[in-house]
Chains A and B, each alone.
Chain A
Amino acid sequence: MSIEVNGKSLETDEEGYLENLSEWEPEVATVMAEIDELELSDNHWEVINFLREYYEEYQIAPAVRVLTKAIGKKLGKDKGSSKYLYELYPYGPAKQACKYAGLPKPTGCV
């Protein structure tokens, strides 16, 4: 499988995650969101940007709780909940947002 981003063809796995994480650029998220028929708002981008920052430092996606806390700090306490994150990313913030942000899929009993 692959997606077309800025005229380039990027390989993805069966579930649509980037095969080569270093190929990520912001348009990757936009294209993936279009496939899911989702329009990315500034708040979606806050999540994506935080995921990328965290991944840069720790080589793993943050725990859902770490993510909700960070988003609560940035967007206001009422938005620092997994309920709000599910509103933004209906297929699950840990998975759908990680995919858009070019992170590997969290595996395990999650």
Chain B
Amino acid sequence: MEYLSYLVATGISTGALYALVALGIVVIYKATEVVNFAHGEMFMLGGFFAFTFHVMLGWPYLPSFALAVALAFAVGVAVDRIAFRPLMQRRTLVSVLLVMIGLSFVLKGVARWIWGGKGDYLTFPPLISPEPLSFAGIMVMSQQLVVLGAACAVMIVFALFFKLTRAGRFMQATADNPKAAKLVGLRTDRVYMYTFGVGSAVAAAAAVLMAPLTLLYPDIGFMLFVKAFAAAVLGGLTSIPGAVVGGFLIGIIEQLAAGYLHTAMQEVAAFIVIMIVMIFIPTGLFGLGRIRKV
């Protein structure tokens, strides 16, 4: 029982981070109908940016966090300008995906080139003392609690951004009906650009939160992308609450698979979830039924 609660607690705290990355995937998908293949690389770059400021330059954690998120926003905008905007005109999904795959490899290569020389795995110093806490008989790492709290805070900020700000409402309107949004005078091109930026910024926030718990390496992006995609698709790919629930579920599922089946299962649980969900429940838990368009 204690083991189980430990696994679930760990699953929830990593799941919160998957949920953050999945949020970005869902927001971008809702607006553009494209899954950003380079989304994992946004996560990876966010982590490396924070590492540069916090560890290499010795800045405090919070400014590093803010700057990493801002830089990731800029990279997200660049993804829009390179991969999405020019190809959207030609309306070719295959081309968009191919360019995004190419971009994700370029970013990975650049990260390996810049940060790879400092050892394959970079460690990020912990935020607070790594003493475990005990809560009603459940052992949790205090670090995990901080991460969980911060991740929830980011999610709330994100939700408020969507509900309250003009930019957030523009994004909602564009995702809802791009044609109508354009008709009422929204500059949808610009909204798409912000959407990519915001999605990347959230992924970077997740990375900066996760960095103290894990190691940073150039290939981490793809791993996180697959897990977050599994979360997003489990939640239906078009539902923001679905992405959050999916994130927590994937976190817990992979911890349970690792704890009770085999440790190597942790890596592969997300792939299996993707395949099962896609084949048996393609609309996910919260998704709308997909409409077949001619």
Partners in one complex: no
